[in-house]
Amino acid sequence: MVNMDMVGRLRENRLTVFGSYSSPQLPKALEGLNHRHRFDLTLNNDGVGASDHGPFYYKDIPSVFFFTGTHAEYHSPADDWDLINAGGEAQVLNFIRDLVRWVDSLDEALPFQKVKESAPAGGGRTNMKIKLGITPDFSRQVKGMAIQAVSPGHNADLAGMQAGDILVAVDGREIAGIREYMYRMQDLEAGRKTVFTVLREGQLLNLECILK
């Protein structure tokens, strides 16, 4: 199954493919195809994430999710048509076309393999009462959660987080990836003093904020 969810904002030629390891044959195939397309390609091995391909993955069907990254306008009315990188989207679609043609040329169906999940099973959303106002950077393979952008005036900004930081703990509880981040966020409440630990230029910083 091929899912295209947010492929219209290609920047710096960076393309992430979630579910890249949902078949043992996929990583080599994706890397091989990229010799022609030359993206700054990230094959994400943390799982399939929460999107429309999830139900296919949970039926043991190899599933990939092409993604050009979150941005400051993500899930807001400001995300309008004039921000689309049409040329970049065409590049992504050409890559996907070649992948689909490769799959179609196989004599047998792609074998499936389970991968480490990065979101709750079933692709459901968690019940988060607090929003930090950060945009995750899924293209960076790091321990923790890389931050691509920080929205002015929101909790993360008030705490002093910056784009490029890696969030590694909340109130001393480790964050290894997006899954732990989502679970930690469920426990946060407005009015509570919270300590966020970030890695910035090789240094660990504890940033405090009264959540709103």
User: Does the residue 151 lie in any domain?
Assistant: yes
User: Looking at the structure, do residues 16 and 90 belong to the same domain, yes or no?
Assistant: yes
Of 70, 105, 140, the domain-final residue: 105
User: Does the residue 143 lie in any domain?
Assistant: yes
Q: What's the total number of domains in the chain? A: 2
- Please report which residue ranges of the chain form alpha helices under DSSP H: 26-37, 54-57, 86-105, 155-159, 178-186
User: Does the residue 93 lie in any domain?
Assistant: yes
Q: Give me 82's structure tokens.
A: 């004039």
User: Does the residue 144 lie in any domain?
Assistant: yes
**What is the Cα 19 distance to its own chain's centre?**
11
User: Looking at the structure, do residues 82 and 139 belong to the same domain, yes or no?
Assistant: no
The answer, yes or no, to whether residue 171 has pLDDT greater than 70, is: yes
User: Does the residue 118 lie in any domain?
Assistant: no
Task: Please state which of the ranges 1-10, 122-131, 155-164 shows the lowest mean pLDDT.
Answer: 122-131
User: Looking at the structure, do residues 93 and 141 belong to the same domain, yes or no?
Assistant: no
Structural domain for 30, as ranges: 2-105
User: Looking at the structure, do residues 70 and 150 belong to the same domain, yes or no?
Assistant: no
User: Does the residue 117 lie in any domain?
Assistant: no
The CATH number of whichever domain residue 172 belongs to comes to 2.30.42.10
User: Looking at the structure, do residues 77 and 136 belong to the same domain, yes or no?
Assistant: no
The answer, yes or no, to whether residue 200 has pLDDT greater than 70, is: yes
- pLDDT category at 151 given cuts 50, 70, 90 is confident
- Across the range 127-132, mean pLDDT stands at 73
User: Looking at the structure, do residues 196 and 161 belong to the same domain, yes or no?
Assistant: yes
> Which residues, other chains included, contact 32 with Cβ-Cβ below 8 Å and sequence gap of 6+?
none
> Which residues, other chains included, contact 114 with Cβ-Cβ below 8 Å and sequence gap of 6+?
22
- pLDDT category at 167 given cuts 50, 70, 90 is very high
- Across the range 161-182, mean pLDDT stands at 89
Q: How far apart are CA 16 and CA 113, in angstroms?
A: 19
More confident residue, 146 or 139: 146
User: What interhelical angle do 86-105 and 26-37 show, nearest 10?
Assistant: 130
Task: Please state which of the ranges 27-41, 77-91, 134-148, 198-212 shows the lowest mean pLDDT.
Answer: 134-148
Buried b (16+ CB within 10 A) or exposed e, 31-66: eebbeeeebebbbbebbbbbbebbebbeeeebbbbb
User: Looking at the structure, do residues 161 and 99 belong to the same domain, yes or no?
Assistant: no
The answer, yes or no, to whether residue 125 has pLDDT greater than 50, is: no
Detail the DSSP E strand segments found in the chain.
2-4, 14-18, 40-43, 64-67, 134-136, 145-150, 166-170, 173-174, 193-200, 203-210
- Percent of the chain predicted with pLDDT > 90: 56
User: Looking at the structure, do residues 77 and 144 belong to the same domain, yes or no?
Assistant: no
Q: How far apart are CA 20 and CA 110, in angstroms?
A: 12
Nearest to 62 by CA among 12, 128, 17: 17
Mean pLDDT for the chain?
87
User: Does the residue 10 lie in any domain?
Assistant: yes
User: Looking at the structure, do residues 87 and 171 belong to the same domain, yes or no?
Assistant: no
Write out pLDDT tens, residues 66-121: 999 877 777 778 889 999 999 999 999 999 999 999 999 999 999 999 886 554 43
